[in-house]
Amino acid sequence: MTHDHDLVLRPTAAQTSAALNPPPGRNGGDLVVETLAGLGATTVFGLPGQHALGMFDALRRSDLTYIGLRVENNAGFAADAYGRITGEAAPLLLSTGPGALTSLAALQEAAAASAPVLAISSQIPTAGLGGGRHGYLHELPDQQASFRGVVKSVHTVRAQSQIPSAIAAAWESALTAPHGPVWVEIPQDVLLAETHLPVVTAMDATPEDVVPRPELTAVAAELLSKAARPAIIAGGGVVRADASGKLKSLAERLQAPVVTTFGGKGAFPWEHPLSLQSWLEDRHTTDFLEDADVLLVVGSGLGELSSNYHTFKPRGRVIQIEADLGKLESNHPALGIHADARLALQALLETVDAREDETAADRVHAVLSQVRERIAAQELTLEQDVLASVRRALPSNSPSFWDMTILAYWAWSAFDARGSNTMHSAQGAGGLGYGFPAALGAAAADPTRPVLAVSGDGGALYSIAELATARQYDLNVTWLIVDDGGYGILREYMTDTFGQATATELARPDFVALAESFGVPGIRTTPETLGEDLSKALAAPGPSVVVLPALLRMFAPTHLD
């Protein structure tokens, strides 16, 4: 009797011959790039370094497209965006020690935003491993230790035969919900040594689905069906699971108002009658959500920003669907369902009863009216006009990437993303410098549509070197730099808290001249001409820079009241 697990696929004669006679001139680096290609990778990001040269030499013998950035952290941001846009694991090739460590902030953002980044780093030669002080260039006593608290998983290689399996295991880890960054480490001598191993072909690294337990979704469906005032908070997990269609169907069946978190922008149609939009930093929204007798939280851990700085105190029953086990019930007691958002929403769609509620849309409209009145009373027309100009200029299907800057903080609450997986920011970890290199990664993922990056002048200087990358690869990114001569949001925070700001003012370079020195067209605009200038820049092929000198202010918070 033959069982399925006893079946072994026999190689053909041609395959056997190829395995016995691999092409000459290959090294351990070839095993890396062959494995990546076998897993389905088409584009890799990175920066070469002495110990990693075996991988980079192998790239020229492969069909992989290489996008080289000027700073490792920026390469990590580009890989992060590529992973968010494609849903594929984005390979990031790095060198040992300083090169690897410089990527840590980007990997923290990828971890916070559940972006699938496959970082592959070199290591000092095998003879130097073990924690001794051998004096090798870039030597660290334990390089992996710097990454264990940041990435999902660490995979070490000490022999060439381990390379395919280690990379495949890392790939599967990166793409298992919740997605995230992973780390593979390979010594220099293993990468450089000639290899006689067969060429790596197709690899199997299929991530397992995180399936909801049916008894839990049955209870959730019962609670939602019988709720008097259900509401939904939709987070980034809905976007990553490509579940916005299922969310819309469920909300309409339940007549449940929906608010999207900043990471979940676009998960629900902005102008839908049930859309509370994204005004999470407003007490009117917080009060509405607290009043729900059953609150469904999908793909969000209800962290600091999503809970109006932890002032949100739900009074009703909470149902939380979350693929990240560490986030499940981490902030509020709930009926916790550990599952991918798409699978859990499908299970609910199959079991909930339709509700009739003629008041739901009116209650949503009332909340949004209160929010608009609060903002209108603060006389912030400049900020709203600038954001509206950006929205008009940006094509509906174009992605945008926002740095940590005042205009981005406005966009979290007030920008209509016009589609799932189109608006991204660094609000996961909150580091500066994300917007422009991330936009470059998105443009590499899809060259057919323009990409917008938005930065302040402070954040722009973190990634100004990547203008060379944009020009070298002719990436279709328009970079809007809002120049207020300093770290604007920190200026506001310090002034509000201490009465005056310290260390927030910056010398202002001529960003237009700087862009043009890289061969990138630049223009200085005004709030009145921003829409037209931005539209022209986005319509022109290749990279461009639009500089807006303006002092923007934030709307008043409500969590301090």
Query: 19-28, 253-262, 472-481: which has the minimum mean pLDDT?
Result: 19-28
**DSSP class of 387:** H
Sequence-ordered list of residues with C-beta below 8 angstroms from that of 529, at least 6 positions apart, any chain: none
Task: Give CA–CA dist 417/268, Å, rounded.
Answer: 10
The two tokens of residue 38 are 């076998």
**What average pLDDT does the segment 502-513 reach?**
96
Residue pLDDT, tens place only, 250-271: 999 999 999 999 999 999 999 9
Residue pLDDT, tens place only, 66-83: 999 999 999 999 999 999
Q: Is the dihedral of CA 23, 24, 25, 30 positive or negative?
A: positive
Whether the per-residue pLDDT at 178 is higher than 90: the answer is: yes
pLDDT interval class at 4 (50, 70, 90): very low
**pLDDT in the model for residue 20:** 61
> Which region, left, alpha or beta, applies to residue 114 given φ > 0 means left and ψ of -120 to 50 means alpha?
left
The two tokens of residue 345 are 């929403």
**What average pLDDT does the segment 480-495 reach?**
95
Residues counted in the chain: 561
Cα 485 versus chain centre, distance? 28
**pLDDT in the model for residue 2:** 44
Sequence-ordered list of residues with C-beta below 8 angstroms from that of 437, at least 6 positions apart, any chain: 69, 74, 75, 77, 78, 81, 463, 466, 469
Task: Give CA–CA dist 348/343, Å, rounded.
Answer: 9
Sequence-ordered list of residues with C-beta below 8 angstroms from that of 14, at least 6 positions apart, any chain: none
**What average pLDDT does the segment 139-166 reach?**
95
Find the helix or strand (DSSP H, E) in which 65 lies: strand 65-68
Beta bridge partners of 360: none
**pLDDT in the model for residue 16:** 57
CA dist 188 to 90, 105, 154, 191, Å? 22, 24, 18, 5
**pLDDT in the model for residue 11:** 59
Within 114-271, residue ranges assigned H as helices are 145-148, 163-175, 188-192, 214-226, 236-240, 244-254
Scanning the structure block, which residue is given the tokens 């693929």? 323
Task: Give CA–CA dist 108/102, Å, rounded.
Answer: 11
Query: 150-154, 283-287, 557-561: which has the minimum mean pLDDT?
Result: 557-561
Q: What percent of the chain has pLDDT over 70?
A: 96
Q: Are 117 and 44 in contact (CB under 8 A)?
A: no
Find the helix or strand (DSSP H, E) in which 516 lies: helix 511-517
Q: Is the peptide bond before 178 cis (omega within 30 degrees of 0)?
A: yes
To the nearest 10 degrees (0 to 180), the angle between helices 530-539 and 381-393 is 20
**What average pLDDT does the segment 423-428 reach?**
94
Query: What SS3 string covers 282-328?
Result: CHHHHHHHHCCCEEEEECCCCCCCCCCCCCCCCCCEEEEEECCHHHC
Looking from the CA of 451 toward its CB, the CA atoms found within 13 Å total 33
**pLDDT in the model for residue 9:** 53
Find the helix or strand (DSSP H, E) in which 37 lies: helix 28-39
**pLDDT in the model for residue 132:** 78
Task: Give CA–CA dist 46/388, Å, rounded.
Answer: 35
Whether the per-residue pLDDT at 272 is higher than 50: the answer is: yes
**pLDDT in the model for residue 537:** 98
DSSP line for 104-129: HHHHHHHHHHT--EEEEEEES-GGG-
**What average pLDDT does the segment 175-183 reach?**
97
Q: Are 197 and 31 in contact (CB under 8 A)?
A: yes
**What average pLDDT does the segment 9-30 reach?**
72
Task: Give CA–CA dist 191/198, Å, rounded.
Answer: 15
> Which region, left, alpha or beta, applies to residue 384 given φ > 0 means left and ψ of -120 to 50 means alpha?
alpha
- Over its C-alpha atoms, the chain yields an Rg (Å, rounded) of 25
Task: Give CA–CA dist 532/550, Å, rounded.
Answer: 17
Longest dimension (CA), the chain: 82
CA dist 372 to 29, 141, 282, 380, 527, Å? 57, 56, 10, 11, 21
Task: Give CA–CA dist 154/274, Å, rounded.
Answer: 43
Task: Give CA–CA dist 344/210, Å, rounded.
Answer: 9
**pLDDT in the model for residue 30:** 98
- The pTM is what? 0.95
pLDDT interval class at 12 (50, 70, 90): low
**What average pLDDT does the segment 420-425 reach?**
96
**pLDDT in the model for residue 19:** 61
**Start-to-end CA span in the chain (Å):** 73
Task: Give CA–CA dist 129/123, Å, rounded.
Answer: 9
CA dist 330 to 136, 305, 351, Å? 43, 15, 27
Is residue 368 classed as helix, strand or coil in its secondary structure? Answer: helix
**What average pLDDT does the segment 175-186 reach?**
97
**What average pLDDT does the segment 94-111 reach?**
97
**pLDDT in the model for residue 22:** 82
Residue pLDDT, tens place only, 322-361: 999 999 999 999 999 999 999 999 999 999 999 999 999 9
Residue spans of beta strands (DSSP E) within 278-366:
294-298, 317-322, 335-338
Single-letter amino acid, residue 96:
T
Task: Give CA–CA dist 416/427, Å, rounded.
Answer: 17
Task: Give CA–CA dist 146/443, Å, rounded.
Answer: 30
Single-letter amino acid, residue 95:
S
The two tokens of residue 437 are 């290199």
